Structure 1
Amino acid sequence: MSSFPNCPAGRRSLFRRASVLAAAVSPLVLSTAAFAQDADLGDAAVIALPEISVTANLAPTALDKVGSAITVITGEELREQETRFVSDALRQVPGVSVYRTGPAGQLTQVRIRGAEGNQTKVYIDGIPVNDPAFGSEFDFSSLLADDIERIEVLRGPQSALYGSDAVGGVINIVTRTGEPGTQVGGRLEGGSFGTVNGSASVSGGNAYGNFIASAMGFKTDGVSVASENLGNTEKDSYRNGTVFAKGSVAPNEYIDVSGVVRYTGTRTDLDSEAYLPAYGHTGPIDSLQDAVGEDLYSRLQARLSLFDHHWEQTAGISYTDQKTKYRDLDPTVVTSIYQGKKRRLDYQSTFFFETPNVADAEHTLTVAVQDEEDMVTSDSIYSSFDRSIHTTGLVGEYQLGLFDALTVTGSVRQDFNEIFEDSTTVRATAAYRIEQTGTKLRGSYGTGVKNPSTFELYGYTNTYRGNPDLKPEEATGWDVGVDQTLFGGMATADVTYFNQRITDLITGSGQTSVNMPGTSKVDGVEVGLSVTPIDPLTVRASYTYTDGRDSTGAELIRRPRNVASVDINYRFLDDRANVNLGIDYNGAQKDWVYNAFYTQRTVIDLDAYTLVNLAASYDVTETAQIYGRVNNLLNEDYYEVWGYGTEGISAYAGVKLTF
């Protein structure tokens, strides 16, 4: 490798590692390795490196220098828990709440710090996947976890980096990358509710590139979407087929080209809403409806490194196409079609330099341009429209490290939008490390913006009329926290207080949407704990207290005050066997129901619930593993959304093969 003049060894490693990462994914994704190898020194030379993130800032940043509240879920943790849907893993993250309107495959919303589901920005391999035709929200129901290697959740307003939708925070999902050599693997599983699922993949790589291709499938006969407690008995099935390919070519350490494409096709049985006289309000009932979805995500990018890795440039293009057809009674009768497309061009330029004689300072200066066009087509029995919204964002960020102890960042963004007023958002963070005590003090402040969706502006149904006069929602948020290493590194703990304010909150009013006057307020406390008392045993726990209220003082719906989780993992028999116990608690919360004409709504209470899941695996040989899991071990009967059914106790077993 080339030398890095006037650059400490740790910084050299970070530069080199960031360059390798860019070859495989994008500047928005995280590293998945905890080490790097110097090619000139041979296989025996391994350099230990700090874990880094490229979600927390525009430039790669070591996690111990990040001033924002951030949580990482590794692919290893997903495999220990035998996780099938990414949304189930997110239940363990402080500040995050997950809501699914029924069993597996139904609409799944993720909220961060009390923000709305469409105020969470989601990326997969650097591709922004919020659906323009679905309220600029990402529906997690179809995102399978087999090929996921890392998830990072960045909390608090991040619009200065990521534009509209990043009010509550950002979820960045990184898929697997091909490793040296050639690997072929597969998995097959079956279990309760007529469920069969599996995956197959082939991958490989060498010093000049890597590739991976995989296919995943999930089928279940399911349970009734409309709760059986309301007298519904019809089972509602779900089908998911996903194919994925990703690769990169790097002729040398200074230039590389990478690409990724992902396609998911789904068919989901649905139930409808109707007036329930016995309850005096609306609720779901059995019906012969379904939805057929097709999602295409793609990205191509190139990276160029100059001046011995002191100047990194990345240019990319992303394209998404998300289409859903709703059918009623007869599969040939299509009642509505919603299609959202997003085209994005981006360029980022980052300069790394140091002033060792002035405060032993490290400097990172980044400028970026992000040009996006959202295109939405709606065609239903009630109305049709074809709209597009074009936005260009200019971003600048400066990161300063002082005395290898203090790291501060400042970011500013200017968005130019052809429909709404231009907006300016800012962000600042600070992290101070006390090595002697294993302490990191951190804090962040940011502003956010959420533009009205095309449906809120122009949508039209039998119960809804769009409002073209809506204004963007605006937010400010700040947090302070401490990360602490305990018992000589045996445990780590983090505590964060957060405070967020949202003005012009868009809410339903009669049969339309309006900007609510005043300020909605959300604040709370997030706590995380990880303990490894002995090497094969790991205990992770989280707790979040949230107090969310609208401008009238009313409690926000589906924002439980108390959410907690515990995950216990134990490996034994020389690491050939693994047992995992997961416990997720969701406290009491509010929900809405409507009158027969959808002109008035009433608040109702939903009870708290606790989900207990147990998973185990055993490596029969180096290439074969058997596994099993039991979900909802206590057979809890609960609502995440009022009236929508949930699965009781269920069991699954399968086998994995790797060559």
Structure 2
Amino acid sequence: MFQKAFAGERRPLLSTIATALFLAFQSSAVFAVPVDVAAQPLGSALRALASLAGVQIAHASDVVGTLQASAVKGDMRLEEALRRLLAGTGLEFRKDGDSSYVIVRAGHSEKVLPEMVVTATRTERWVEDVPASVTVVGRKDIATQQVQSPLDLLRNVEGVDVAGYGSPASLPRITLRGVGGSFGGSTSQILIDGMPIESPVAGIHQGIQVLDLQDLERVEIVRGPASALYGPSAVGGVVNFVPKRWRGAPGAEVSIGAGSHDARLFSAAVGAAWDVVDFRLSASDYRTDGYVAQPDSDPWGSRDLASRDGRDKKFGLTLGLRPAANQEITFSARKGDASSAWLGGHPNYRFDNDSENYDLGYRFELGERAVFKVRLRHTRQSTHMLFDDEYVNGNAGSLVLAEVDDRIESHDYLDLQADLRLSAANLLTLGYAYGVGKFTSRWEDVIWGGSGESISKSKLTGIFVQDEHQLSENLTILAGGRWDRYEFAGDSQNGVATGKDSKDKVFNPRLGLRYRLSEPTSLYATVGTAYVPALNFLKFRGGGAWLDNPDLKPETSISYELGVKHRQLNWSARAALFHSDYEDKISSIRVGPQWQFQNIGKVAIDGLELAFEGKLGDWQPYLNYTYTDSRIKENPSDPLTVGKQVQRIAPHKLNAGVVYSPSEQYYVRLSGRYVDDYYFNDRNTDEARKAGHFVADAKIGWRLPVSGPLRSAELSLAVNNIFDRRYREQQYEYMDRRNVWLGLNVRF
């Protein structure tokens, strides 16, 4: 709900700006400010007050329900206004940081505040109320880490395997719940603000590159099958990156930094929020000389001759407009431009990535009974690659002889959703999704004299439904499913069709139960399915050494999970046991003198996840452990892989750390992660074995004294890979050794 912050007619813009500027320098939690919130549904009133005061007030829709708030008017502190709004509702607020509040039921004893999550059910829910294994990396956790990419934030999360690359502009690849890779594309879906960033035919997978770390509010990781809500490529789960919206008075934020390998960063953001409009505009520029990722020659003789330099520029704009009390229109535009050496010291081994993303959304709230959402997204990704195998080995080579490969992917996506509260105990979610994707690859091989273009197209239509029903005070059931229809246009090369059109239909159900044993403890059980589509180029290969297989089916999985969550006083804990059967895996097999892609593979996964986090005085420790037994059960294309571990999946993973913050002036974060041995091939041969490694990181932040127009200033020092470990995440490439970063963030 987006109710007017002031009753009656809106104040003139200059008056609103003056109020916002005053709030920029005076904390509304301490000083009295003019408050004028009309009588309305409580959810609307809380959002109106948050917009006025420039703070975040988190509340779950099932907690607020259909409660009404009385009018609150006068000069008062923010917390006094909150008390008046919540009077007689049975709710109370808890402070969570400098500018955040959480609304909870009165009488709750926990001091560690619950976290809000949207991704697990597509509706706002506390993490403890969701029948799934969920982790939220919030703004505070993001601020106390020094990472290069948003995907690097997942390294300290249970159930996630991360494989980084040595090139500065390359993004890590992530895998959830040990499902491994697929010929059909990604097995774990990445979202920005709840929507996919690429189509299944994408051959680039750089869409997250549009999102700058300074624009990131939080990350929600939902482990387990998610095709019942999000469609394809969600066998292991989904990761949703939620961007920031500007809150409160007009202001600006500037960050500068410098570190190892002559790395330097400049980023800035400006924005403001009033009762009818808010905006955030940001830009950043990162450059580095890079490091040597492949010092030794691989079996083909390739190696780095020098460090891998790189640059990464980003631009972002978000805009929110509220033309009426219960309506909001949102728009965002993001662009990323990254360039890097593919192999250091080789001018003909480079790539350039360009990504852009445009969103348009509309939200309409019918009191507390219904919420309707319409969202449109257009994405475009392109990669320009230069490479020359003839001149890579110990030779700088010639750009004239370099092979050129341009890859372009575009995706248009429509998402419709209706959340209907049929009763206080029943929420029905209905949705429709439509997506069109196109992937084009153009290449020119100067050495061999060839060139060409290939095009792949896809069309998706999805319908989903989810019913969340509270059967009793302690028992809640969640049931739903999604029906997807895929259409693939026949692939073409140089304008000549190499494949026929094909269609697939898939239905993926999900059932979850949550039972509250006591106020702080709940149990849950869930079962669901997921899939990865069978792409056209796998079905139709255009003759030659390959046979067509129009009957190729999507890869499918079914997963079972049991879990427990506990949150009390100053700590919280969670545990989950899961099993997945990943079937109809696509692989190539010889059929006489030719080859063909067939559904011949099967993987079985058993796992355990444990996590703990809490607060002991000034110390905030965390610890999580993952055990994943992911093994190949069937693979006629290579019987020697049966019974072996799936490649790039670590059986054991342990994360531990602590944040020490004795005052608002400074903090110290120490964190470490152990990743067990794993293999770079499915046969698990000795030469493909990667030894386990332990990496420790540290960061210290100081809040400097400020005055005048400055809101805050923080100086930070980070040291990653403290013990200078030499380890790999790709078969022939080593990750960065010890590196140092010094940064300064100033807010006006």
TM-score, normalised to structure 1's length? 0.86
| 1:174-573 to 2 correspondences below 5 Å | 174-228=242-296, 232-271=304-343, 288-306=348-366, 308-328=367-387, 335-354=404-423, 362-381=425-444, 383-418=452-487, 419-436=502-519, 438-453=520-535, 456=538, 470-485=552-567, 488-507=568-587, 514-534=597-617, 536-550=618-632, 551=634, 552-572=642-662
Distance 1:313 1:107, change over 3 A: closer
Instruction: State the match for 1:59 in structure 2.
Output: 123
RMSD over aligned Cα atoms:
3.3
Deviation at 1:125, TM superposition (A): 2.1
Letter in 1 for 2:194: G
Deviation at 1:444, TM superposition (A): 1.4
1:445 and 1:19 map into 2 onto residues whose CA distance is 39
Q: Deviations over 1:71-93 (max 9, x none)?
A: 00001111112333212210111
Q: Secondary structure at the match of 2:142?
A: helix
Q: Secondary structure at the match of 2:143?
A: helix
Instruction: State the match for 2:705 in structure 1.
Output: 621
Q: Deviations over 1:420-448 (max 9, x none)?
A: 32111111112122334x21101211110
| 1:90-129 to 2 correspondences below 5 Å | 90-116=154-180, 118-129=186-197
Contact 1:481 1:497 in 2 (8 A): yes
Instruction: State the match for 1:8 in structure 2.
Output: none
1:34 matches 2:58: yes
Q: Once structures 1 and 2 are overlaid, which stretch shifts more, 540-549 or 325-334?
A: 325-334
Q: Deviations over 1:483-530 (max 9, x none)?
A: 123xx5122111101111111213466998834524211111011100
Instruction: State the match for 2:16 in structure 1.
Output: none
1:147 and 1:607 map into 2 onto residues whose CA distance is 36
Contact 1:476 1:502 in 2 (8 A): yes
Distance 1:238 1:463, change over 3 A: farther
Structure index of larger Rg: 2
Identify which of 693, 704, 709 aligns with 1:609. 693
Q: Deviations over 1:387-420 (max 9, x none)?
A: 2111100111111123332221111111122233
Q: Deviations over 1:155-198 (max 9, x none)?
A: 11110100001111010111111111112011111111111113
Deviation at 1:14, TM superposition (A): 6.1
Instruction: State the match for 1:586 in structure 2.
Output: 675
Q: Deviations over 1:460-487 (max 9, x none)?
A: 9x999998764311111121110123xx
Distance 1:463 1:99, change over 3 A: farther
Instruction: State the match for 1:81 in structure 2.
Output: 145
1:346 and 1:568 map into 2 onto residues whose CA distance is 40
2:273 and 2:595 map into 1 onto residues whose CA distance is 53
1:262 and 1:81 map into 2 onto residues whose CA distance is 23
Distance 1:466 1:331, change over 3 A: farther
Q: Secondary structure at the match of 1:350?
A: strand
1:164 and 1:593 map into 2 onto residues whose CA distance is 24
Q: Secondary structure at the match of 1:160?
A: helix
Letter in 2 for 1:570: Y
Q: Which consecutive residues of structure 1, in runs of 5 or more, have no partner in the other structure?
A: 3-11, 23-30, 273-284, 355-360, 595-599
Contact 2:120 2:132 in 1 (8 A): yes
Deviation at 1:313, TM superposition (A): 1.0
Contact 1:504 1:516 in 2 (8 A): yes
Distance 1:98 1:18, change over 3 A: farther
| 1:7-18 to 2 correspondences below 5 Å | none
2:119 and 2:50 map into 1 onto residues whose CA distance is 13
- Identical-residue share of aligned pairs (%): 22
1:330 and 1:286 map into 2 onto residues whose CA distance is 9
Deviation at 1:133, TM superposition (A): 5.1
Letter in 1 for 2:469: L
Letter in 2 for 1:41: V
Contact 1:136 1:453 in 2 (8 A): no
Distance 1:482 1:138, change over 3 A: farther
2:334 and 2:589 map into 1 onto residues whose CA distance is 38
Distance 1:441 1:350, change over 3 A: same
Q: Deviations over 1:88-111 (max 9, x none)?
A: 210111100100132533341000
Structure number with higher strand proportion: 1
1:21 and 1:467 map into 2 onto residues whose CA distance is 57
Q: Secondary structure at the match of 1:420?
A: strand
Contact 2:587 2:601 in 1 (8 A): no
Distance 1:499 1:82, change over 3 A: same
Deviation at 1:290, TM superposition (A): 0.7
Q: Secondary structure at the match of 1:193?
A: coil
2:437 and 2:524 map into 1 onto residues whose CA distance is 36
Aligned length: 613
Q: Once structures 1 and 2 are overlaid, which stretch shifts more, 201-210 or 469-478?
A: 469-478
Contact 1:20 1:253 in 2 (8 A): no
Deviation at 1:614, TM superposition (A): 0.8
Contact 1:393 1:416 in 2 (8 A): yes
Q: Which consecutive residues of structure 2, in runs of 5 or more, have no partner in the other structure?
A: 4-40, 83-91, 94-102, 105-114, 388-396, 445-450, 488-501, 635-641, 707-711
| 1:136-175 to 2 correspondences below 5 Å | 137=205, 144-175=212-243
Identify which of 700, 720, 733 aligns with 1:631. 720
Q: Secondary structure at the match of 1:84?
A: coil
Q: Secondary structure at the match of 2:219?
A: strand
Deviation at 1:455, TM superposition (A): 6.0
Q: Secondary structure at the match of 1:556?
A: coil
Q: Secondary structure at the match of 1:525?
A: strand
Contact 1:188 1:198 in 2 (8 A): yes
1:166 and 1:191 map into 2 onto residues whose CA distance is 37
Contact 2:666 2:700 in 1 (8 A): yes
Deviation at 1:548, TM superposition (A): 0.5
2:558 and 2:386 map into 1 onto residues whose CA distance is 41
Deviation at 1:66, TM superposition (A): 0.5
Contact 2:152 2:172 in 1 (8 A): no
1:631 and 1:464 map into 2 onto residues whose CA distance is 48
2:530 and 2:477 map into 1 onto residues whose CA distance is 20
Contact 2:202 2:438 in 1 (8 A): no
